[in-house]
């Protein structure tokens, strides 16, 4: 008896097999119908789907199988998975590979075997579908082999569905088909579920990744485009999920139409899509196509006579120009998408090597942030806020800085992105809140009875289940009234975790804490948020204040924001006031408060106290934080 050969990709094969969660005690019921059909179709007493482990074979499904030794070294299926086509053994007793096999010479009495490999989505042999008889068959025709291969495709589709759903720890339960045609229809449906997005009909994440791998293996010049819809969650929540689903379907249709002759489109998940463009070697051409896709998405969508507009950002990467590795290609496209969303919303950006260097720098920052937290390298500065009508100090905005041991004092632009995406954002946010409240309490006790402290929030803080309690406890700890604190939120924070955020902010507002909407007017969903969120103040973004004296459009935006604030009975504060005409114009138009370099730069607590004649500040605290 000859032992089955070892596959050259054995490690990868076994790793792929493990993803299906199968074993001796965990067969796959959805394959039962396949083996029963095989047994009936070929009039065989035994049919099975055998999965080939490292040293043993186990049944994923079988019919007519008794007690047999299924170690790998005696398994016919272990040989079958090494074949490119159906392996047929007409009479095992006359086959030099198997004539002395225990399955042939023992009580099992195996004489005939036909088996076809079952392949994973990426082409690795997992096991085999086989039919077996106790008598020889010399008449297993080419048509028979084709039908067995079709059943194997059906089994492979069901295995793929199992892999997708194994994380949910439940097998797929399917009715037993009544005939082969019904089974084939069922297999097509399983293939569709395993490879295509149910809502849009586009290729799903798994199929898209496989298409990328296949293209680069051939190899073909391609461009991968990752697409993210801007502020879709707000549209989905305000207009309803039915409308949101329709929008996703319409976007999918536009994507498919845009690349019908040049590539494939896929829905990666949620509001994320992707495109694979074939025969694209020029970054300019890829950029033109992706910009055209953006333009197509941006066209109005009419639903019940209501015009809805959706913007998208795209990240583009090319192979082999940027890489020949599928994983790295998609990673490059994601890096370009990240930059596009940060700097160029609504447009596309092509990958360049500097983006990977920036990503590496962000990862490095992530490691350094752990040290900064441990060593107390973060500190707060305070930018004064005044009442525009008389210049009286009303409060300050607490702003974080990083005293880096090598690079010196860093502003938030240098480290906040890495901090916000990392695991320590909530920890640092809690420290900022406590430090700022401690400082506000000292200044209120020393002459500034109505002083209000503004504190910027991280999204990670609002995800915490006890955030509202933490804020209230911090105020009580420092003996502060609720009116002394104003929490500043941005559009991105509330959109990312809408329902959870809304409940916490309502609790805090009910307690008496102020809620300010920062950078108002720079996002896409600001007006709808005003209706839902318990705001007390709008902060006019510095970009509009800076341009209001030279741009009628910016001046009109400022006037409109102030009108909106009055309509919603909200206070206003303008950021970035650097010149007296700006201050005077804002006051004339009804803005109540302001901050900016004309009033005062962000200052350490001692300098702030000296500038506004307040009692000496607290001793500088080390930012030692835990958890």
Mean pLDDT value of segment 351-360 = 79
Check whether residue 339 and residue 419 sit in a common domain.
no
**What gap in Å lies between CA 35 and CA 137, rounded to an integer?**
19
User: What separation in angstroms does the CA of 289 have from each of 154, 198, 268, 336?
Assistant: 37, 26, 19, 15
Find where tokens 């879709």 sit: 232
191, part of any domain: no
Whether residues 153 and 238 share a domain: the answer is no
Residue 596 lies in a domain: yes
Which of the two residues, 332 and 479, has the higher pLDDT score?
A: 479
pLDDT tens by residue, 264-273: 889 887 888 9
Residue where a domain stops, chosen among 351, 376, 397 = 351
Pick from 318, 322, 333: which is nearest to 285 by CA? Answer: 318
Instruction: List, in sequence order, every beta strand (DSSP E) within 457-594.
Output: 485-489, 514-520, 537-540, 571-574, 593-594
Joined together, the tokens standing for residue 160 give 């793929």
**Which of the listed residues 304, 329, 351 is the one where a domain comes to its end?**
351
Rounded to 5 degrees, what angle do the CA atoms 76, 78, 79 make? 70
3-state secondary structure of 404: strand
* Same domain as 282, residue 249: yes
Q: For residues 315 and 429, state if they share a domain.
A: no
Assigned domain for 436 exists:
yes
Last residue of a domain, one of 351, 371, 389: 351
Same domain, 313 and 382: no
148 with 288, same domain: the answer is no
Q: What percent of the chain has pLDDT over 90?
A: 28
The answer to whether residue 542 sits within a structural domain is yes
Tokens of 198: 């149910």
Using the predicted structure, report yes or no on whether residue 99 has a pLDDT greater than 70: yes
382-397: average pLDDT: 95
Question: Which of 251, 226, 379, 396 is CA-nearest to residue 311?
Answer: 251
We report the CATH number of the domain holding residue 117 as 3.30.450.40
pLDDT digits (tens, 9 = 90+) for 567-622: 999 999 999 999 999 999 999 999 999 999 999 999 999 999 999 988 655 555 54
Q: Which residues pair with 408 in a beta bridge?
A: 404
- Domain annotation covers residue 522: yes
pLDDT, one tens digit per residue, over 331-355 is 889 888 888 887 656 678 888 888 8
Give the chain's domain count: 3
Q: Where residue 546 sits, what CATH number does that domain have?
A: 3.20.20.450
Do residues 443 and 538 both lie within one domain? yes
Rounded to the nearest 5 degrees, what angle is found at the Cα of 37, between the Cα atoms of 35 and 42? 100
Mean pLDDT over residues 32-54, rounded? 83
Evaluate whether residue 617 is within a structural domain.
no
Condensed to tens digits (0 to 9), the pLDDT of residues 158-190 reads 787 777 665 444 333 334 344 444 444 545 565
Kindly give the residue spans of alpha helices, DSSP state H, lying in 279-325: 283-298
Q: Which domain holds residue 68?
A: 9-169
208 and 117 in one domain? no
Where residue 398 falls among pLDDT bands split at 50, 70, 90? very high
In terms of domains, do 431 and 517 share one?
Answer: yes
pTM here? Answer: 0.51
DSSP codes of every residue in 172-183: PP-PPPSSHHHH
CATH of the domain at 292: 3.30.70.270
pLDDT, mean of residues 13-26: 72
Looking up tokens 């994507």 gives 255
Pair 280, 395 in one domain: no
* Domain annotation covers residue 214: yes
Rounded Cα distance between 450 and 485, Å, is 10
DSSP string, 162-175: HHHHGGGT-PPP-P
The reply to whether 274 and 382 lie within a common domain is no
Residues 209 and 274 in one domain: yes
In a domain, 554, yes or no: yes
């Amino acid at each position: 008896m000859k032992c089955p050969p070892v596959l050259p990709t054995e490690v990868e094969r076994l790793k792929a097999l493990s993803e299906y969660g199968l074993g001796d005690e965990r067969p796959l019921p959805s394959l039962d119908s396949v083996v029963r059909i095989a047994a009936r179709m070929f009039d065989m007493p035994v049919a099975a789907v055998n999965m080939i482990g490292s040293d043993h074979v186990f049944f994923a499904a079988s019919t007519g199988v008794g007690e047999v030794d299924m170690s790998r070294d005696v398994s016919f299926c272990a040989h079958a998975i090494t074949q490119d086509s159906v392996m047929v053994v007409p009479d095992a007793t006359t086959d030099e590979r198997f004539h002395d096999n225990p399955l042939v010479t023992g009580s099992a009495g195996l004489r005939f075997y036909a088996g076809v490999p079952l392949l994973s989505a990426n082409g690795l042999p997992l096991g085999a579908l086989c039919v077996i008889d106790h008598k020889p068959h010399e008449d297993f025709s080419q048509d028979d082999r084709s039908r067995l291969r079709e059943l194997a495709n059906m089994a492979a589709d069901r295995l793929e569905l199992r892999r997708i759903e194994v994380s949910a720890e439940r097998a797929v339960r399917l009715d037993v088909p009544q005939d082969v045609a019904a089974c084939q229809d069922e297999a097509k449906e399983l293939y569709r579920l395993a490879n295509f997005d149910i809502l849009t009909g586009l290729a799903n994440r798994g199929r898209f990744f496989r298409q990328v791998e296949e293209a680069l293996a051939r190899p073909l010049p391609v461009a991968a485009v990752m697409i993210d819809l801007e502020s879709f969650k707000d549209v989905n929540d305000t207009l309803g999920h039915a409308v949101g689903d329709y929008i996703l379907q319409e976007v999918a249709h536009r994507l498919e139409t845009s690349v019908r002759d040049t590539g494939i489109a896929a829905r990666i998940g949620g509001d994320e899509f992707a495109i694979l463009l074939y025969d694209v070697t020029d970054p300019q051409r890829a950029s033109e196509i992706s910009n055209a896709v953006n333009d197509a998405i941006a066209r109005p969508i009419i639903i019940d006579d209501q015009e809805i507009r959706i913007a998208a950002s795209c990240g583009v990467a090319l192979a082999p120009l940027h890489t020949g590795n599928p994983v790295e290609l998609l990673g490059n496209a994601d890096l370009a998408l990240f930059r596009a969303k940060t700097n160029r919303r609504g447009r596309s950006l092509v990958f360049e090597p500097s983006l990977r260097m920036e990503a590496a720098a962000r990862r490095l920052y992530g490691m350094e942030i752990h040290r900064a937290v441990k060593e107390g390298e973060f500190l707060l500065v305070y930018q004064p806020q005044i009442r525009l009508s008389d210049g009286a100090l009303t409060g300050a905005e607490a702003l974080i800085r990083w005293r880096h041991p090598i690079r010196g004092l860093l502003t938030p632009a240098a480290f906040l992105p890495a901090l916000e995406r990392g695991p320590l954002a909530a920890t640092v946010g809690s420290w900022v809140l406590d430090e700022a409240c401690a400082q506000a309490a000292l200044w209120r006790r020393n002459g500034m009875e109505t002083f209000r402290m503004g504190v910027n929030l991280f999204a990670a803080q609002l995800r915490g289940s006890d955030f509202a309690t933490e804020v209230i406890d911090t105020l009580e700890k420092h003996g502060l009234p609720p009116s002394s604190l104003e929490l500043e939120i941005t559009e991105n924070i509330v959109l990312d975790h809408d329902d959870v955020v809304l409940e916490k902010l309502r609790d805090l507002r009910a307690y008496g804490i102020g809620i300010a909407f920062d950078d108002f007017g720079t996002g896409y969903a600001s007006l709808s948020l005003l209706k839902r969120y318990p705001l007390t103040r709008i902060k006019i973004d510095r970009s509009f204040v800076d341009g209001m004296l030279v741009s009628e459009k910016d001046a009109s935006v400022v006037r409109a924001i102030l009108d909106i604030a009055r309509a919603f009975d909200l206070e206003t504060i303008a950021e970035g006031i650097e010149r007296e005409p700006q201050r005077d114009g804002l006051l004339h138009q009804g803005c109540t408060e302001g901050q900016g370099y004309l009033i005062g730069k962000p200052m350490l607590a001692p300098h702030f106290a000296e500038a506004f004649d307040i009692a000496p500040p607290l001793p500088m605290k080390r930012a030692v934080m835990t958890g």
